[in-house]
Structure 1
Amino acid sequence: MRKILLPSVIIITSIILIARIFYLQVIDENLKLQSENNAIKKVFDFPERGYIYDRNGKLLVANQPSYDIMVVPREIKNIDTTEFCSLLHISKADFIKKVEKAKVYSPMLPSVFLSQLNKAEYAAFQEKERKFEGFYTQKRSLRDYQVKDGANIFGFITQVNEGILKKNKYYNSGDLIGKQGVEQQYEEILRGVKGVKYLLRDKHNKIIGPYKEGKFDTIAQQGKDLTLTIDHALQQYGTELMINKRGGIVAIEPKTGEILALVSAPTYDPALLVGRQRSKNYTALYNDSIAKPLYDRGLQATYPPGSPFKIVTGLIGLQEEVIDEQTTFYCNHGFNFGRFMKCHCGLHTLQLNNGTYKSCNTYFGNTYKRTIEKYKDSYYSVDNWANHVKSFGLGQFLGTDMPIGAKGLVPDSKLYKRAYNGAKIRSSYIISNSIGQGEVLTSPIQLANMMAAVANEGYYYTPHIVKKIKGQSLDKKYTTKHYTTIDKQYFQPIIQGMEDVYNFGTASGLKVEGIKICGKTGTAENKIRVAGKTYQLKDHSIFVAFAPRENPKIALAVFIENGYWGSRWAGPIATLMIEKYLNGKISRKDLETRMLNGSIEDEYRKIENIIYQRKVDPTRLQDSLNKVSIEISDAKKEEEEN
């Protein structure tokens, strides 16, 4: 048996090797194609990127033709560089620099010498192209924006860098790629597939026709179209309302998790990042480190949530059975717990309903105190509370289909063990969490998602911005319900209090006839630290809401930096957004005029003056995130002093 086995293995292996060599040398001509590379020119045919539409079918992003001048350094021969530079309006130094850069990439492969020529520039060069051996034109397509808003949603197109070229073999030098927004997130879907043509050259390097009659050529496949969840009319309206203000608006359809509007202010016209001026314009936007137009405040900015967080405090109190609808607390202009947490509702005996619509610090401070003190192990209590909070999508990346986002912060036992060196936590140390002013930090999209969970009475869908991909289904994670830890029975009492915010409470001046809006105003303390000194600034204005109460169709959060208090800026803007979406028109013209014409630029100039007076690089400015460490240390110090 052994005598047969070894010869058999040798014979079989030999047959396989001979068959493989025959296939590679006779049948498969791909290797032959590579070996004849010097006589063959490889030309790419770039497809159009997929179009982008809003949820109602409005075209938002299309394409326009563009032309690049390509160079193969090894093929440059006896050209008149003076004429060449004059034709393209570049200096001889630029010419040398660009050729040297191309040589570094590859002397034998084409790379972009000059990108994004317009039609006139292309026509002038094409007329004399034959005189410049080693150079040729390559047609591509650039984005053509049909709207002037939504730049933070779309992102932009830019040339691939060396890092991408090393990681992804699909791209070649000079290729375009999506950056930020849906252009980046859905790059592989939007870009399509490049076509390739192999052209045969003679001994004089002239093209004499297709190689093997085009046998190896492939056809370009256009990118797939995207339909966004965005309602452009609402997005545009929100952008107009946010002129001369800084902050974010995020609106979500509760029953699907579809993002209806994602407004970040200040913003910019997406057309600025198209064409020959793209690099210059991007640099200007990037260097604006105070207004930060490239910074998506709806997704990336984190702030103390303020009074809207009382909604979660109340729901957790009900779930933990430390309060019910009839539980009463007396407010004496605030809550005394060693420190005094001032309240605007005056001398009142309060229950859950009027505690909610009056936004009583005393009521929710006591509710939080009972929640934390329910269990003997204070660290267990904190983690129990934190798990409830996180079930609303706070303190975590939501998993949206956007390439950026902020986690925010929901403090837990790990954070406080470090802060207090393992000592027992007293509720009074961390009582500011009860009203969204402690260590809790949230982004506008998280607050909007929290409202969607309340509107749905206990569940939410992962927020997403793409509604449909042509010829493809969405990821199942966007159609999967996420449940909070709060039982459904506890939501209606809180929802009633939120409706009464409009009926009797802090938003009673914002009512819209015929729409039952459930909302909550918020005012968040605002400090910055510059060069080691803390400055108290105007508070942030916050508002969260959903409408209508029955069968909610929109949930949203509005955050206005330095906007004083919730009902001054954020509340009116939220109300207008809701009416615009539900009715398609505005009845509260008084609010609309005030919001469209209103400005907070004076407050922003005060911040700029602080920065410049202290001679601090704006990029190193520390914002309200510093409140985390400040609040922890101050709370314990004041508790010990009392």
Structure 2
Amino acid sequence: MRKVLLPTIIFVVTILLVMRLFYLQVIDDSLKLKSDNNAIKIKYDYPERGYIYDRYGKLLVANQPSYDIMVIPKDVKNIDTTAFCSLLNITKEDFLKKIEKARVYSPRLPSVFLAQLNKKEYAAFQEVQRNFNGFYIQKRSLRDYQVNYGANIFGFITQVNENIINKNKYYNSGDLIGKQGVEESYEEILRGIKGVKYIQKDKYNRDIGSYKEGRFDTIAVQGKDINLTIDAELQKYGEELMINKRGGIVAIEPKTGEILALVTAPSYDPAILVGRQRSKNYTMLYNDSIAKPLYDRGLLAEYTPGSPFKILTGLVALQEGVIDENTGFSCSHGFSYAPGRFMRCHCHGGLLQLHRGIYESCNTYFSSSYMRIIDKFNNPPRGVDVWSNHLKSFGLGEFMGYDLPTGRRGKIPTSKTYKRMYPGWGWSSKTIVSNAIGQGEVLMTPIQLANMIATVANRGFYYTPHIIKKIKGGTIDKKFRTKHVTTVNPKYFDPVISGLFDVYNFGTAHGLNVEGIDICGKTGTAENFAKINGKRVKLQDHSIFVAFAPKDNPKIAIAVFVENGYWGARWAGPITSLMIEKYIKRKITRKDLEKRMLEGSLEAEYNKYIPNPVKDTLINQMAKKPVKLVSKEAIKTKDSKAKDSTGN
């Protein structure tokens, strides 16, 4: 038995190998299609990308036809190079570079030689295409923007690079891919599926028909349409209000986490990143390193939040039982918290309780509350970590998990932060008391500020902010329907909300009311520093505002940040009131605020410290369009610290 076992195994294995080789070489032709086969030409059929709509079904992004000239380097023979270059308005040097680049990719596979011809160029080339062996026309579709706003939301389409091709076998040289915004986040949904045709060629390299009668051909599948959570009219209005200003606006529907508006300023018309001038225009935007129009301030800019952070200080203090709504602290326009140390306060002074402490934005009240939190355990490191963990339950100090490809964590300090900062030194609550009023080591992005105030509006819970509302034939990630509950008991939110409501009635936002809408809000100011010629120079303060409305059953929560905007009620506050009224009423009655915001400009402030402001930028050239977009040089802010000395 043992004598025949080994020969039997060898015989069986040999038979299996022969059968497998026969199948691969005779029956299964798929390996032929995967190789650079001289006798088979691969032709792709590119589908239209999915359309993009707003939350109400308004079409925002469609498609338009585009034509690329493709080249197969090994087939380029006996052509009139001079005539070819003249026809396409390129130099002979460009011709040779493009051919060499295509040859490096593959001498037998097609590459894009010249992308995005317009209809006139396409028609001219098509007439004489037969004279240029190795070249043919590939039809594609490019984006056709129906609006001139929302560039940061949409992102753009660009050709894949070698790195992408190596990582993802779906893409070939010359293919298009979404970058930034929803085009990147939902690339696989929007792009569709390429169709493929395999064409048999004879020994003279002439097409003789479909390979194997089209058995391996596939049909292109169009990309899926999507609806965004964005309110197009609110987005447009927000960008108009931010003309000649810099900063961000983020508006969220509290009960769902849907992003209603995501404004960054300055911005640009998305249409300039389509067509033959796309690369040139992108380079100009990219090189504007001061105004940074490609930098989404709503998602990426980390600022000290200033007075809006007092909302959280009050909530944590209530939760930890170190204050109640009747606890009083005496304020005399200044709060001495350590020998030789002084914190200025702008409120009217006297004995303040929580309600008045909120609407007058009293530094004394919230600094005292904060120190009680830290000192509760007679152990500052533990106190800081308890405070920090409460804040993290609001989604702070971490990536938020929204469905856009860019973002920042912000910063919520812990005991480890201060052990690094003060090694071998016994720091205390007095050392870090500036955290109480939104300065110190605390950093937040505008979308985190918006989500924070949405959580307050909900009395203690939130849904992860997201920008996708509907995918045709698809489903939304379930994480956007998962409720996140904070560590603060819901009962503590009502007294805080009562104080926020009176910010408009008696406090720092008095005069910014909108008739018929009960708004709860909080002003803020953040100090602004930059390094100029190696020196740390103080610039004009930033203006901040957070709010939600209506007070009961809130429909919108919003954060507005205006760089160099002086104080909260000067720029960010009016913009907030206008955005809320626009969304809830669909019209504007506060024409006085609207006129001041639309006509107001902070350009002089941005240019103040620049000897020779650059005026001839792409953004400036677009200033005559309906949505004016400004990009003059301004000072680059390196760091900022919040302060509360101007009514915030």
Q: TM-score band, normalised by the shorter chain? A: over 0.9
1:581 positional shift = 0.5
Aligned-residue sequence identity (percent) comes to: 69
1:623 positional shift = 3.0
1:33 positional shift = 4.4
1:563-574 mapped onto 2 (5 Å cutoff): 563-574=565-576
SS in structure 2 of the partner of residue 318 of structure 1: helix
1:489-568 mapped onto 2 (5 Å cutoff): 489-568=491-570
Deviation string, structure 1 residues 162-208 (Cα, Å, up to 9, x no partner):
11111111111111110100111111111111111111222221222
SS in structure 2 of the partner of residue 537 of structure 1: strand
2:305 maps to 1:291 = no
Name the counterpart of 1:29.
Answer: 29
1:279-358 mapped onto 2 (5 Å cutoff): 279-338=279-338, 339-358=341-360
1:423 pairs, out of 403, 422, 425, with: 425
Contact 2:373 2:383 in 1 (8 A): yes
Between the aligned partners of 1:347 and 1:311, the Cα distance in structure 2 is: 19
Between the aligned partners of 1:528 and 1:445, the Cα distance in structure 2 is: 24
1:587 positional shift = 1.1
Name the counterpart of 2:403.
Answer: 401
Contact 1:312 1:389 in 2 (8 A): yes
Letter in 1 for 2:552: E
1:71 positional shift = 1.0
Name the counterpart of 1:480.
Answer: 482
Name the counterpart of 1:144.
Answer: 144
**Structure 2 vs 1, CA of residues 7 and 234 (structure 1 numbering), >3 Å: closer, same or farther?**
same
Between the aligned partners of 1:623 and 1:372, the Cα distance in structure 2 is: 31
Name the counterpart of 1:217.
Answer: 217
SS in structure 2 of the partner of residue 128 of structure 1: helix
Letter in 1 for 2:268: Y
Between the aligned partners of 1:396 and 1:373, the Cα distance in structure 2 is: 26
**Structure 2 vs 1, CA of residues 33 and 270 (structure 1 numbering), >3 Å: closer, same or farther?**
closer
Name the counterpart of 2:443.
Answer: 441
Between the aligned partners of 2:300 and 2:216, the Cα distance in structure 1 is: 47
1:134 positional shift = 1.1
1:179-190 mapped onto 2 (5 Å cutoff): 179-190=179-190
2:292 maps to 1:278 = no
Contact 1:416 1:422 in 2 (8 A): no
**Structure 2 vs 1, CA of residues 538 and 35 (structure 1 numbering), >3 Å: closer, same or farther?**
closer
- Aligned pair count? 624
Contact 2:530 2:636 in 1 (8 A): yes
2:577 maps to 1:575 = yes
Contact 2:52 2:62 in 1 (8 A): yes
Name the counterpart of 2:50.
Answer: 50
Contact 1:302 1:441 in 2 (8 A): yes
Between the aligned partners of 1:260 and 1:217, the Cα distance in structure 2 is: 43
Name the counterpart of 2:39.
Answer: 39
Between the aligned partners of 1:620 and 1:552, the Cα distance in structure 2 is: 37
Between the aligned partners of 2:593 and 2:515, the Cα distance in structure 1 is: 14
1:627 positional shift = 5.4
Between the aligned partners of 1:281 and 1:230, the Cα distance in structure 2 is: 26
Deviation string, structure 1 residues 77-98 (Cα, Å, up to 9, x no partner):
1111110010000111111111
Letter in 1 for 2:237: Y
SS in structure 2 of the partner of residue 519 of structure 1: strand
Divergent runs of 4+, >6 A: 618-622
Q: Structure 2: 5+ residue runs without aligned partners?
A: 615-631, 644-648
Deviation string, structure 1 residues 15-44 (Cα, Å, up to 9, x no partner):
433432332233322235457921111111
SS in structure 2 of the partner of residue 526 of structure 1: strand
Deviation string, structure 1 residues 586-627 (Cα, Å, up to 9, x no partner):
111111111111111111011434999xxxxx9998734375
SS in structure 2 of the partner of residue 78 of structure 1: coil
**Structure 2 vs 1, CA of residues 310 and 624 (structure 1 numbering), >3 Å: closer, same or farther?**
farther
Name the counterpart of 2:67.
Answer: 67
Between the aligned partners of 1:606 and 1:619, the Cα distance in structure 2 is: 10
**Structure 2 vs 1, CA of residues 291 and 426 (structure 1 numbering), >3 Å: closer, same or farther?**
same
Between the aligned partners of 1:288 and 1:495, the Cα distance in structure 2 is: 42
Name the counterpart of 1:586.
Answer: 588
1:9 positional shift = 3.8
Contact 1:63 1:143 in 2 (8 A): yes
Name the counterpart of 1:236.
Answer: 236
Contact 2:235 2:263 in 1 (8 A): yes
Between the aligned partners of 2:565 and 2:365, the Cα distance in structure 1 is: 25
Name the counterpart of 2:623.
Answer: none
Contact 1:529 1:621 in 2 (8 A): no
Between the aligned partners of 1:416 and 1:608, the Cα distance in structure 2 is: 36
Greater displacement, 286-295 / 9-18: 9-18
Between the aligned partners of 1:627 and 1:589, the Cα distance in structure 2 is: 33
1:391 pairs, out of 367, 384, 393, with: 393
Which TM-score applies when normalising by structure 2? 0.93
1:210 positional shift = 1.7
Between the aligned partners of 1:392 and 1:316, the Cα distance in structure 2 is: 11
Between the aligned partners of 2:552 and 2:12, the Cα distance in structure 1 is: 75
**Structure 2 vs 1, CA of residues 183 and 255 (structure 1 numbering), >3 Å: closer, same or farther?**
same
1:90-105 mapped onto 2 (5 Å cutoff): 90-105=90-105
Between the aligned partners of 2:444 and 2:283, the Cα distance in structure 1 is: 29
SS in structure 2 of the partner of residue 608 of structure 1: coil
Greater displacement, 57-66 / 334-343: 334-343
Name the counterpart of 1:634.
Answer: none
**Bigger helix fraction:** 1
Contact 2:304 2:640 in 1 (8 A): no
**Structure 2 vs 1, CA of residues 103 and 177 (structure 1 numbering), >3 Å: closer, same or farther?**
same
Letter in 2 for 1:564: Y
SS in structure 1 of the partner of residue 593 of structure 2: helix
Name the counterpart of 1:84.
Answer: 84
Contact 2:68 2:114 in 1 (8 A): yes
SS in structure 2 of the partner of residue 557 of structure 1: strand
2:453 maps to 1:465 = no
Contact 1:64 1:142 in 2 (8 A): yes
Between the aligned partners of 1:532 and 1:388, the Cα distance in structure 2 is: 39
Letter in 2 for 1:584: R
Contact 1:117 1:276 in 2 (8 A): yes
Contact 1:378 1:424 in 2 (8 A): no
1:5 positional shift = 5.2
Greater displacement, 457-466 / 25-34: 25-34
Between the aligned partners of 2:354 and 2:171, the Cα distance in structure 1 is: 60
Name the counterpart of 2:646.
Answer: none
Contact 2:543 2:564 in 1 (8 A): yes
**Structure 2 vs 1, CA of residues 276 and 402 (structure 1 numbering), >3 Å: closer, same or farther?**
same
Q: Structure 1: 5+ residue runs without aligned partners?
A: 613-617, 632-642
1:411 pairs, out of 410, 413, 431, with: 413
Between the aligned partners of 1:490 and 1:474, the Cα distance in structure 2 is: 33
Contact 2:382 2:415 in 1 (8 A): yes
1:424 positional shift = 2.1
**Structure 2 vs 1, CA of residues 95 and 263 (structure 1 numbering), >3 Å: closer, same or farther?**
same
Between the aligned partners of 1:62 and 1:414, the Cα distance in structure 2 is: 50
2:263 maps to 1:263 = yes
1:600 pairs, out of 580, 599, 602, with: 602
Name the counterpart of 2:125.
Answer: 125
Between the aligned partners of 1:36 and 1:58, the Cα distance in structure 2 is: 45
Contact 1:70 1:111 in 2 (8 A): yes
Between the aligned partners of 1:311 and 1:260, the Cα distance in structure 2 is: 23
Name the counterpart of 1:637.
Answer: none
Contact 1:545 1:556 in 2 (8 A): yes
1:13 positional shift = 3.0
Between the aligned partners of 2:132 and 2:611, the Cα distance in structure 1 is: 55
Name the counterpart of 2:621.
Answer: none
Letter in 2 for 1:55: R
1:14 positional shift = 3.7
Letter in 1 for 2:25: Q
**Structure 2 vs 1, CA of residues 509 and 428 (structure 1 numbering), >3 Å: closer, same or farther?**
same
